[in-house]
């Protein structure tokens, strides 16, 4: 299979499994990726997910250019005929946290896939690039919008207009990734972070993600009002009460997402 899906201890691991093709995305693989996101979103046993690539050379090098020539259908047919996703990684629009473990090249659509995740951890051999302009295209899977929001206008423009790659240390410097670790430690590091998230109250975790994501597009006062509304919704949940009881009783809380 082009995409592997495994669940262990409330953590789902999604692995792009085309190492011979640098884990590039042909149309079938892209469909499997979005389906995997929806599968984990519907699975009540999963609280957090890790996205990575098979092998030690590449996380994902974007579209498989051998299999992604322009479609025969018109743009109108694709949008209004049988629409499924608004853009290639729309399946990632979920409240469960996503950790991207970047094990090598994250180029073009592969970098955009990493950008769509909430936390990015990179191996020391990772390289990042938005190289679409070099092949007559644009970063149209969220890249032109997400990258400036994450790293600032100048660094984003430099990457997207030149198409040049940056290494893991530079990605860390500009805030594109949170940590850089040896390749052999990448999976363990991502899993440790995932397990720490999974141990927290799931409704609160998902609320934080939604508030942060939606708040970026709101005026500050409106975003704070949304924050207060979410706090009110969570106030009487069983998990919030459990968290306080566990603190008083000096034990680990047992959260059930209720």
| Catalytic residue set | 112, 132
- Distance CA(21)–CA(61), nearest Å, equals 9
- Distance CA(205)–CA(112), nearest Å, equals 23
Residues in contact with 57: Cβ distance below 8 Å, sequence separation at least 6, in sequence order = 19, 22, 104, 105
**Hey, what are 22's tokens?**
């640098």
Length of the chain, please?
258
CB atoms within 10 A of CB 114: 26
Bridge partners of 6, per DSSP, are: 13
> What 3-state DSSP class applies to 95?
coil
- Angle of CA points 18, 20, 23, to nearest 5°: 35
């Amino acid at each position: 299979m082009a995409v592997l899906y495994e669940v262990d201890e409330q953590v789902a691991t999604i692995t792009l499994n085309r190492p011979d093709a640098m884990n590039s995305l042909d149309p079938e693989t892209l469909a499997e990726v979005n389906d995997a996101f929806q599968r984990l979103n519907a699975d009540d046993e999963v609280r957090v997910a890790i996205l990575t690539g098979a092998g030690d050379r590449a996380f994902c090098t974007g579209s498989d250019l051998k299999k992604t020539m322009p479609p025969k259908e018109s743009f109108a047919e694709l949008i209004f005929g049988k629409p499924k996703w608004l853009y290639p990684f729309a399946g990632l629009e979920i409240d469960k946290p996503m950790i991207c473990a970047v094990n090598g090249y994250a180029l073009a659509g592969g970098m955009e896939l990493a950008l769509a995740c909430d936390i990015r951890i990179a191996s020391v051999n990772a390289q990042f690039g938005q190289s679409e302009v070099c092949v007559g295209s644009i970063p149209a899977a969220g890249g032109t919008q997400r990258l400036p929001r994450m790293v600032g206008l100048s660094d984003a423009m430099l990457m997207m207009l030149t198409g040049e790659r940056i290494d893991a240390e530079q990605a860390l410097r500009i805030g594109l990734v949170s940590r850089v670790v040896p390749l052999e430690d990448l999976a363990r590091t991502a899993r440790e972070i995932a397990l720490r998230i999974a141990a927290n109250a799931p409704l609160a975790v998902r609320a934080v993600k939604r508030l942060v994501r939606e708040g970026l597009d709101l005026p500050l006062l409106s975003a704070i009002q949304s924050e207060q509304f979410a706090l009110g919704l969570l106030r009487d949940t069983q998990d919030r009460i459990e968290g306080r009881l566990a603190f008083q009783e000096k034990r680990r809380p047992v959260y059930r997402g209720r």
